Chains A and B, each alone.
Chain A
Amino acid sequence: DTAVSQTPKYLVTQMGNDKSIKCEQNLGHDTMYWYKQDSKKFLKIMFSYNNKELIINETVPNRFSPKSPDKAHLNLHINSLELGDSAVYFCASSQEGLAGGYEETQYFGPGTRLLVL
């Protein structure tokens, strides 16, 4: 009964490769996110989708391409991996709601630890 799940949990790959991370939520939420947490533990938003529509696209290299086939899934494809892409990538979801409401709570997946060699 995992709420937000991600696969794979660990990913070790060579520079230049292309890889994908998958995320699924069974909470019925409308909004999903990708965050990157670097070695200094800074958690930074990359993308957000609301009902399959891209609504937040931070300054991220275009080697990163998110895709949301339906509102329960948000995948992240990374082309031409670089050393600096090594980080923990967290998927999260939240219910769309009015600002200031508790429904904005974000539920995070367990993270995907990506190591680029």
Chain B
Amino acid sequence: RKEVEQDPGPFNVPEGATVAFNCTYSNSASQSFFWYRQDCRKEPKLLMSVYSSGNEDGRFTAQLNRASQYISLLIRDSKLSDSATYLCAVNMGGGYQKVTFGTGTKLQVIP
């Protein structure tokens, strides 16, 4: 099993739709979780951290399910500008900040 696994997509959704991505992780001792966004030919940028209680930032909601070892990202009312690759990232713990990234899920929002 890969350390961090994501469905690569692509997810093609119409504007205004709600879309959800999941990301599973293998190490139950993982400490912290993140969603990054990467636009084509650009660097990854933090979208949001994922907290145990779940957290929301505008149209974006992140959830953590420790029992099933996955995190999710929900995007409501999709905009064309949301088109990007979404990378989940997991700090496996064990001291220093070794963050393992998933391969990313590509989202294409279509008019």
A residues near B (Cβ < 8 Å) are 31, 40-45, 48, 50, 55-56, 90, 94, 96-97, 99-102, 104-111
Chain B interfacial residues counted at CB < 8 A: 23
- Which chain A residue has the least Cβ–Cβ distance from B96? A55
B69 within 8 A of A: no
CA distance A114 to B33 in the complex (A): 30
CA distance A87 to B91 in the complex (A): 24
B residues near A (Cβ < 8 Å) are 31-32, 34, 38, 42-46, 49, 85, 87, 89, 91, 93, 96-101, 103-104
- Which chain B residue has the least Cβ–Cβ distance from A103? B97
Take A102-B49, A104-B91 as given contacts and tell me if A41 and B85 are in contact as well, using a CB distance cutoff of 8 Å: yes
Contact at B43–A109, with CB atoms within 8 Å?
yes
Contact at B93–A99, with CB atoms within 8 Å?
yes
Chain A residues with CB under 8 A of B89: 106
Take A41-B85, A43-B87, A48-B98 as given contacts and tell me if A104 and B43 are in contact as well, using a CB distance cutoff of 8 Å: no
Most buried by B among A41, A55, A109: A41
21 A-B residue pairs with CB within 8 Å: A41-B38, A43-B87, A45-B98, A50-B96, A55-B96, A56-B96, A56-B98, A90-B43, A97-B97, A99-B31, A99-B32, A99-B93, A100-B31, A104-B32, A104-B97, A105-B34, A105-B46, A106-B44, A106-B97, A108-B45, A109-B43
